[in-house]
Amino acid sequence: MAEKFDAIVVGAGPSGNAAAYTLAKAGMKVLQLERGEYPGSKNVQGAILYADALEKIIPDFRDDAPLERHIIEQRMWVLDDESYIGTHYRSDDFNKPPYNRYTIIRAQFDKWFSEKVQEAGAMLICETTVSDLLMDGKRVIGVQTDRLGGEIYADIVILADGVNSLLATKAGFHPEIEPKNVALAVKEIHFMPQETVEARFNVQGDAGVVIEMAGKITQGMMGTGFLYTNKESLTIGVGCMLSDLKKQKISPYQLLEQMKAHPSIAPILEGGEMKEYTAHLIPEGGYKAIPQVFGDGWMIVGDAAMFVNAMHREGSNLAMTSGCFAAETVIELADKQKPFTAKNLARYREKLDASFVIKDLKKYKNMPDVFHANSQFFTTYPEMLNQAAHKMLTVDGVDKKTKEKQIMANFKHRRSLFGLMGDALKLWRAFE
């Protein structure tokens, strides 16, 4: 006889775990299916964990979650080929518990989260891929897995299967993801002694530093780079829109190699031993690319629903929050003994709209278009800024007023007055 559950959650990433945990805690009979060997085996993330989203689900997560370092300093670097100009913000406030952001290693974190989910009472089955949704007309009534006798039924199916949700596409809920809406990121972990990490970043104990980077490292393509401190390793990575990579015929691996050779980055990695190389897609289409996220008997959460704020490199928190909202919606309806129809599940979207998830994505809704159409933000500007800083800081007998004039002339020469004003306007509108 085929198995039947209250809810099936597809995927054991942050969004699926948040959903399954919340549902199981409420006493529902939950099945979670994960295609990886174990939760986290296929997942890639920088990774910064934002405490707030997790705290709302597991308030005492700090007791036993595998956390690397809490972030006390954020650096933003704009790089050209030889130099960078940037800001560093370090605050002792960030060094006082409860900490707000942590670096994590996803394989370990996902495993921990999944253990919590199973303790809460959900059943997890790994190494099992959901290949199709079982439909009764327009209503989802269960899933089909890749195993013999793989039909499993449920009142509600939550798709937490990550970026490029093939299931939703196959079921016709949304079209296939477009290359202009998805970034391809690669990252490596470099091991070195804890003391070396701490000395290079001037931190002690469990404190850590984050460097976010933009500029010529992406060779004119829309994208960013990052470098994070873990306990005894550094994570470095770079990502660009798939459409750009395709057009420029550059492999992300080449980008990362060049980035690692940058004179400001190479000394930080010096002597480390590279132990892990991974690549993953990030849905960065933003607000305009969000698909329909609910229907009769189904909801989509996390990356599968495009919930990534690329401007702030937030994803896992949107994933957990949306997973939690989806579960809460199910629990509320079950309490009132209402069916999981599209009409009733619209409550999920209302919760999202009222939260930072949709509000933030809406705020930056034009960002992807602006950056797509204006590659100067990733080439000309970083160079101009770095050259300006270089000029001002070189003491060579030229007076500062003249230097300013030279800088302005260079700006106008490179980008014209109209160009400069237009770019400022575009950015201002996009950020507004």
Partner 1 sequence: MHIVVCIKQVPDSAQIRVHPVTNTIMRQGVPAIVNPYDLFSLEEALRLKDKYGGHVTVISMGPPQAEGALKKCIAFGADAAILVTDRAFAGADTLATSFALASAIEQIEKDMKVDMVFAGKQTIDGDTAQVGPGIAKRLDMQLLTYVSKIDELDLAKGEIKVQRRAEGGVQVLQTRLPCLITMLEGTNEMRFATMENMFRAARYPVNFWNKDTAGIVDVSKIGLKGSPTLVSKVFAPKPNTKPAEIIDTEGHEPRDLALTLLSKLFTQHPKLRDSIVKQAA
- 241 scored as a contact of partner 1 (CB under 8 A): no
End-to-end CA distance of the chain: 56
Amino acid symbol at 122: A
DSSP assignment string, 319-380? HHHHHHHHHHHHHHHHHTT----HHHHHHHHHHHHTSHHHHHHHHTTTHHHHHHH-GGGGTH
Binding to partner 1 (CB under 8 A) within 34-63 occurs at 37-38, 41
Selected from 15, 45, 103, 128, the binder of partner 1 by CB under 8 A is 128
Helices 400-415 and 380-393, packing angle to 10 deg:
170
- 13 scored as a contact of ligand FAD (CB under 6 A): yes
DSSP 8-state code for residue 176: P
Q: Which does 13 bind (CB under 5 to 8 A by kind): partner 1, ligand FAD, none?
A: ligand FAD
Q: Rounded distance, CA 281 to CA 185, Å?
A: 6
Q: Rounded distance, CA 195 to CA 350, Å?
A: 48
The tokens 């509000």 sit on which residue?
A: 359
Q: Which does 282 bind (CB under 5 to 8 A by kind): ligand FAD, partner 1, none?
A: ligand FAD
Binding to ligand FAD (CB under 6 A) within 111-130 occurs at 129-130
Would strands 30-33 and 123-125 be described as parallel, antiparallel, or unpaired? parallel
Q: Rounded distance, CA 288 to CA 315, Å?
A: 16
Nearest distance from residue 203's CB to ligand FAD, in Å? 18
- 14 scored as a contact of ligand FAD (CB under 6 A): yes
- 16 scored as a contact of ligand FAD (CB under 6 A): yes
Selected from 18, 57, 79, 124, the binder of partner 1 by CB under 8 A is 124
The tokens 């060579």 sit on which residue?
A: 396
Q: Rounded distance, CA 161 to CA 281, Å?
A: 13
Selected from 82, 88, 178, 193, the binder of partner 1 by CB under 8 A is 193
Binding to ligand FAD (CB under 6 A) within 330-369 occurs at none
- 12 scored as a contact of ligand FAD (CB under 6 A): yes
DSSP 8-state code for residue 150: -
Nearest distance from residue 191's CB to partner 1, in Å? 5
Nearest distance from residue 355's CB to ligand FAD, in Å? 15
Q: Rounded distance, CA 90 to CA 72, Å?
A: 6
Question: Which region among 14-22, 169-177, 190-198, 209-217 touches partner 1 (by CB under 8 A)?
Answer: 190-198
**10 or 299: whose CB is closer to ligand FAD?**
10
Selected from 147, 247, 312, 412, the binder of partner 1 by CB under 8 A is 147
Q: Which does 125 bind (CB under 5 to 8 A by kind): ligand FAD, partner 1, none?
A: partner 1
Q: Which does 280 bind (CB under 5 to 8 A by kind): ligand FAD, partner 1, none?
A: ligand FAD
The interface mask with ligand FAD, positions 135-164, x = CB under 6 A, is: -------------------------xxx--
Neighbours of 260 (CB within 10 A): 19
Q: Rounded distance, CA 304 to CA 302, Å?
A: 5
Is 30 within 8 Å of 24 (Cβ atoms)? yes
Is 12 within 8 Å of 19 (Cβ atoms)? no
- Which of 98, 76, 101 has its CA nearest to residue 87? 76
- 192 scored as a contact of partner 1 (CB under 8 A): yes
- 388 scored as a contact of partner 1 (CB under 8 A): no
Q: What residues line the site for partner 1 (CB under 8 A)?
A: 3, 37-38, 41, 105, 107-108, 123-125, 128, 145, 147-152, 191-193, 232, 272-273, 275
Q: What residues line the site for ligand FAD (CB under 6 A)?
A: 10-16, 33-36, 42-48, 129-130, 160-162, 167, 185, 187, 237, 239, 280, 282, 302-304, 308, 313-317, 319
